[in-house]
Amino acid sequence: MSRAKEIFNRWFKQVALVATVVGIGVALIGQRKAIADFDWQLNLGVMAGSIALFALAPLVQGFCFWLVLRSLEVPSRLDEAMLIWSRSFLLRYAPSGALALVIRVKSQDRLKASSGHIYTSFGYEQLVALLSGAVACVGAFLLDADQQLWIAVAILAVAVVVAVIARPAFLGRFAQDRLQRRGMSVPSIMRGRHVAAISAVNLLGWIATGAAAYLLVCSLTTEHRPAFLWLLGAYSFAWLLGFVVPLLPGGLGLRDGTLIAFLATTTGVGAATAIAIALRLANTLGEFLAIGLVELSYQTVVRSRPARRRIALGVRSSTDPRPVVTDDAS
């Protein structure tokens, strides 16, 4: 058993990469006919704008992950938290999505967290995502006034109940004590106001996502263009169903099918399928763009650290003739 664990740890990156590629490949193969039949003559400017807007949501989610860690009293650096989160976000495309959590556990030292903090933060992160997605869906449909979806209301109600029960002043401390007695480490729990505040921050990502979807859909349909709020509600509801079915990598399949069912009511099944494929493509490219931006930003920060440290210590390179100036007069 220890030998198998050693081999897995040694080849984890390779296994994660292959699993992610397989997950994305399976999804593309399942949609190959729709992809081949779709007219890909899109406005490149509109497509680029949609991809850029889709990239904002993952960046907001990564920031919320860091906020969750800080709320759990974990002193993680923002750049490290964003990097680990973006890599785990990419690995969610692997079948079952289990590797997304594994990479966080393997990186707990970089996050200055214990394994208990990692599992606890993962649970709170899912709660925040569920709350913000359900609020976006229900709020959009209520404001649109032409659509009522009781399934989304039920999901929101369950998420709110869980958030209230998990508060330290309610059953949070009791649950923490019970779990620790059973050998499960729960070092700290979040206050209810922190969960609410981080969910509100995460909700900003949904506004960007709705704008990205609306921009792309309006460029693809000349007639029967959906209203922004209706499209945001439909898109977030499709995401909710993909979220609550964890065995699908990234909600692939179910999310697209649900979105097609919504769009087909105004555009027909054929056009709805093409639009859903285009949205999936733009969304996926936006996620990859966000991951790339985080990786690039992290490498830039890492390269600048030694220079900042030398300056802070009053050290210059041997080729720099300028004298070192410090605060010490001696």
Q: What is the pLDDT along the chain (330 residues), one digit of tens a residue?
A: 555 555 545 555 555 555 555 555 655 565 565 555 555 556 778 888 999 999 999 999 999 999 999 999 999 999 999 999 998 888 776 655 567 788 888 888 999 988 888 988 888 998 999 999 999 988 888 887 666 677 778 888 888 888 888 887 777 676 767 777 777 777 778 888 899 999 999 999 999 999 999 998 888 776 667 889 989 988 998 888 877 765 454 445 677 778 888 888 777 777 777 788 888 888 888 999 999 999 999 988 887 766 555 444 444 444 444 444 443 433
The helix (run of H) or strand (run of E) holding residue 262 is helix 254-267
Residue at 22 is within a domain: no
137-141 contact pairs (CB < 8 A, 24+): 137/232, 137/233, 137/236, 137/237, 137/240, 138/233, 140/210, 140/229, 140/230, 140/232, 140/233, 140/236, 141/229, 141/230, 141/233
What is the predicted pLDDT for the residue at 245? 67
Number of domains in the chain: 1
Whether the Cβ atoms of residue 89 and residue 100 lie closer than 8 Å to each other: yes
What is the predicted pLDDT for the residue at 324? 41
Alpha helices in 72-172 (DSSP H): 78-91, 98-106, 115-144, 150-165
Residue at 191 is within a domain: yes
What is the predicted pLDDT for the residue at 294? 94
Residue at 14 is within a domain: no
Residue at 162 is within a domain: yes
Token readout for 244 is: 């609550």
Q: Indicate the residue type of 68.
A: V
Tell me the C-alpha distance between 296 and 292, whole Å. Answer: 6
Identify which of 262, 203, 260, 276 has the alpha carbon closest to the alpha carbon of residue 230: 262
Residue at 258 is within a domain: yes
**What is the distance, to the nearest Å, from the Cα of residue 296 to the centroid of all Cα atoms in its chain?**
18
SS3 205: helix
What is the predicted pLDDT for the residue at 319? 45
Supply the range of the domain harboring residue 246.
43-73+114-304
Residue at 87 is within a domain: no
What is the predicted pLDDT for the residue at 222? 66
Q: What is the pTM of this model?
A: 0.76
Residue at 201 is within a domain: yes
Residue at 189 is within a domain: yes
